[in-house]
Chains A and B, each alone.
Chain A
Amino acid sequence: MIHLEGISKSYKIAKRQTGLRQAAKALFYREYTTIAALKDISFSINQGEIVGYIGPNGAGKSTTIKIMSGILVPDTGKCTIMGCTPWKERTSYVKNIGVVFGQRSQLWWDVPVMDSFELLKDIYKVPQQEYQTTIKLLIETLELQEIVNSPVRQLSLGQRMRCEIAASLIHSPQILFLDEPTIGLDAVSKIAVRKFIKTINKEKGVTVILTTHDMNDIEALAERVILIGKGNVLYDGHLEELRKRFGTRKTITADYSQNTSPIKMPAGAEILSYTQERLSISIDTNHTKTSDAITQLSQQVELTDVTIETQPIEDIIVKLYKEYQI
């Protein structure tokens, strides 16, 4: 459905130097540097997938989204989405996609949200009947009943984001690009947005590509992640696979009745905290099995409670960034 091959894109950026003299000079003469935002991006996405597109700031996430939505023309490479080349057949292509830029609104600021929806209906030429059913569904699932009649400027960020997502789905697109859809939202709104994305993916088979810095979004939504850094694809695969490869450490926290004698730690364990009632260690499951570590501890102390935590995905990503030096 989506197919990118060898996409590269570089920007020409004016060199800026500090100081008044340099600024004055820049008025007449400018030096440019070329920055390669994307070097060689290739991947394919099938219909109905939810793909998390992640990477540090400036990795080229937004550039890729812009190329896939037809806003930018890449320097080299091929991009075929639903049989179209986005930047060539712009008007016929964009009917099939919805785009949410988390940091920018697509609604009209001073009028009730419903008026914006109506205008979008006309822009996308959605038949009245189809619009009625779609909008009803969107209002119900995103719980917009109470806010659709207020002007956008009076909405909270979370409410606005829900309206933004609804707005990008009025024409029932088959692909939805979400560029940081949960940026700045509180926990409740984040969960609502995630739930909704999951629903439309399941029920309508909408393919979703989302960029985010919130790994909980990825964990909740995406089975597949594409990690990019410095303009290259660094990892493309299952989230679980990523966890297996990089998230091999587990944290074991054990509570026990008071113990004064020294405890022999499992091999390769890293002590995080240690008191007479509680011990917290981190182990590498490649070397020590979790069950072995617990058995070893139980032989030495009288355990009352044990919790095992998997390494948060955030840590894994940080580790990945480090490993690839991005």
Chain B
Amino acid sequence: MSVYFKYLLIHFKSQMQYRTSFWLLSLGQFFIPFSVFAGLYFLFERFGQIKGWGFFEVALCFAVIHMAFSISECFARGFDSFSDLIIKGDFDRVLVRPRSTFVQVLGSKFEFTRAGRLLQSVMVLIWALSSLPIEWTITKIATLVLMMTSGVFIFTGIYMLAATMCFWTVQGLEVANIFTDGGREMAQYPLNIYHKWVARFFTYVIPFGTVNYLPLQYILGKTQGSDLMYMVTPALGSLFILPCFFVWQFGVRHYRSTGS
């Protein structure tokens, strides 16, 4: 893993060569979710609550999923923009180096400008947390951390699936954005406001529900039944990345035997 940080460092140095564009892009990234959040705010000002969820509770939902999204876009950008690597033929270079393709692709690109987006969602998180009457315990803090982690894992997993498709299609598939951007937009509200099948899809197929909706019920004290069940959901959601990893390995093998 240490080599991943070395990659991180060299990309950071490269990014610092273009400071102005870094600041401008980060500023842009700060304001994009800001406008979405403003929409959320005005919605609740008008309606008060949605299906028993108040403004700050939904803001917490929003903050968690957006944080996970910006972190994964920053650190797993290599998979998100993997088609570049294939088109330019630089994936060959990855294959002649004695490291796993996973860590090398992960280290091939970072998007530091997502710091702006991260900052915005951290601000929302702090605002929401300070306005909610939550009795904090160690397990609740641990659950919150786990929620972020599972979000990062799930987004990264989707990037990996989309990247694997590039071995066959060469060009990147925008269709994956339905699940990343779409999933993020869906999951910034608690899943129970949607149709049953939507909620099920985002719980059992692409488990965004485990990032915020389910564990948040534990943190907010809305659970019915066992707390433990809700608590461990983020950990289960993180497992999403495992099959993605195997699919990726399969794609790499396919690439090497076709030479495309």
Genuine A/B complex = yes
Name A's B-contacting residues (CB within 8 A).
9, 11-12, 63, 66, 69-73, 87, 90-92, 94-95, 97, 99, 101, 104, 106, 108-111, 115-116, 118-119, 122-125, 151
**Is there contact, CB below 8 Å, between A66 and B259?**
yes
**Within residues 66 to 107 of chain B, which ones have a CB less than 8 A from any CB in chain A?**
88-90, 92-93, 95-100
**Is there contact, CB below 8 Å, between A110 and B17?**
yes
Mask of B1-18 contacts with A, CB within 8 angstroms, 1/0: 011001100110110011
**Within residues 5 to 58 of chain B, which ones have a CB less than 8 A from any CB in chain A?**
6-7, 10-11, 13-14, 17-18
**B137 within 8 Å of A (CB atoms):** no
**Is there contact, CB below 8 Å, between A108 and B256?**
no
A-B CB pair tally, cutoff 8 Å: 74
A204 shortest CB reach to chain B, Å: 19
Chain B's closest residue to A13 (CB) is B260
Q: Report B-chain residues with C-beta under 8 Å of the C-beta of A151.
A: 17
Question: In the bound complex, how far is the Cα of B256 from the Cα of A72, in angstroms?
Answer: 5
**Is there contact, CB below 8 Å, between B98 and A92?**
yes
**Is there contact, CB below 8 Å, between B92 and A119?**
no
> A9-B259, A11-B259, A119-B7 are contacts. A124–B97 as well, Cβ < 8 Å?
yes
**Is there contact, CB below 8 Å, between B96 and A115?**
no
**Is there contact, CB below 8 Å, between B259 and A119?**
no
**Is there contact, CB below 8 Å, between A119 and B6?**
yes
**B224 within 8 Å of A (CB atoms):** no
Question: In the bound complex, how far is the Cα of B17 from the Cα of A109, in angstroms?
Answer: 11
> Lowest 3 A-B CB distances belong to which pairs?
A110-B14, A73-B257, A72-B259
**B258 within 8 Å of A (CB atoms):** yes
Question: In the bound complex, how far is the Cα of B3 from the Cα of A182, in angstroms?
Answer: 31
Chain B's closest residue to A63 (CB) is B259
**Within residues 229 to 260 of chain B, which ones have a CB less than 8 A from any CB in chain A?**
256-260
**Is there contact, CB below 8 Å, between A97 and B96?**
yes
**Is there contact, CB below 8 Å, between B10 and A90?**
no
Question: In the bound complex, how far is the Cα of B17 from the Cα of A124, in angstroms?
Answer: 26
Given A70-B95, A91-B98, A118-B6, 13 further pairs, Cβ under 8 A: A9-B259, A70-B96, A71-B92, A91-B100, A94-B97, A108-B14, A110-B18, A115-B10, A115-B13, A119-B7, A123-B97, A123-B99, A125-B98
Q: Report A-chain residues with C-beta under 8 Å of the C-beta of B18.
A: 110
Choice from B90, B95, B259 contacting A104 with Cβ under 8 Å: B90
Choice from A12, A69, A110, A122 contacting B258 with Cβ under 8 Å: A12
Q: Report A-chain residues with C-beta under 8 Å of the C-beta of B260.
A: 11
Question: In the bound complex, how far is the Cα of B96 from the Cα of A124, in angstroms?
Answer: 11
Question: In the bound complex, how far is the Cα of B100 from the Cα of A108, in angstroms?
Answer: 19
Choice from B14, B93, B256 contacting A106 with Cβ under 8 Å: B93
B152 shortest CB reach to chain A, Å: 24
Question: In the bound complex, how far is the Cα of B2 from the Cα of A1, in angstroms?
Answer: 33
Chain A's closest residue to B91 (CB) is A71
Question: In the bound complex, how far is the Cα of B260 from the Cα of A12, in angstroms?
Answer: 9
Choice from A73, A92, A97, A125 contacting B256 with Cβ under 8 Å: A73
Q: Report B-chain residues with C-beta under 8 Å of the C-beta of A9.
A: 259
**Is there contact, CB below 8 Å, between B14 and A122?**
no
A–B pairs, 6, beta carbons within 8 Å: A11-B259, A69-B96, A72-B259, A91-B100, A122-B6, A123-B3
Q: Report B-chain residues with C-beta under 8 Å of the C-beta of A118.
A: 6
Q: Report B-chain residues with C-beta under 8 Å of the C-beta of A111.
A: 10, 13-14, 17
Name B's A-contacting residues (CB within 8 A).
2-3, 6-7, 10-11, 13-14, 17-18, 88-90, 92-93, 95-100, 256-260
Question: In the bound complex, how far is the Cα of B100 from the Cα of A106, in angstroms?
Answer: 17
A148 shortest CB reach to chain B, Å: 15
Choice from A72, A87, A92, A110 contacting B13 with Cβ under 8 Å: A110
Q: Report B-chain residues with C-beta under 8 Å of the C-beta of A71.
A: 92, 95-96, 256, 259
Question: In the bound complex, how far is the Cα of B260 from the Cα of A87, in angstroms?
Answer: 16
**Is there contact, CB below 8 Å, between B2 and A122?**
yes
B135 shortest CB reach to chain A, Å: 46
Most buried by A among B3, B6, B97, B259: B259
Question: In the bound complex, how far is the Cα of B6 from the Cα of A94, in angstroms?
Answer: 20
A284 shortest CB reach to chain B, Å: 44
Chain A's closest residue to B92 (CB) is A71
Chain A's closest residue to B256 (CB) is A73
Most buried by A among B93, B97, B257: B97
A27 shortest CB reach to chain B, Å: 12
Question: In the bound complex, how far is the Cα of B95 from the Cα of A87, in angstroms?
Answer: 10
Question: In the bound complex, how far is the Cα of B18 from the Cα of A118, in angstroms?
Answer: 22
Question: In the bound complex, how far is the Cα of B6 from the Cα of A119, in angstroms?
Answer: 7
Q: Report B-chain residues with C-beta under 8 Å of the C-beta of A92.
A: 98
B96 shortest CB reach to chain A, Å: 5
Question: In the bound complex, how far is the Cα of B99 from the Cα of A91, in angstroms?
Answer: 6
A175 shortest CB reach to chain B, Å: 11
Chain B's closest residue to A110 (CB) is B14
Question: In the bound complex, how far is the Cα of B104 from the Cα of A124, in angstroms?
Answer: 12
Question: In the bound complex, how far is the Cα of B92 from the Cα of A289, in angstroms?
Answer: 52
B200 shortest CB reach to chain A, Å: 33
Question: In the bound complex, how far is the Cα of B92 from the Cα of A236, in angstroms?
Answer: 28
Question: In the bound complex, how far is the Cα of B2 from the Cα of A63, in angstroms?
Answer: 33
Question: In the bound complex, how far is the Cα of B2 from the Cα of A125, in angstroms?
Answer: 11
Q: Report B-chain residues with C-beta under 8 Å of the C-beta of A115.
A: 10, 13
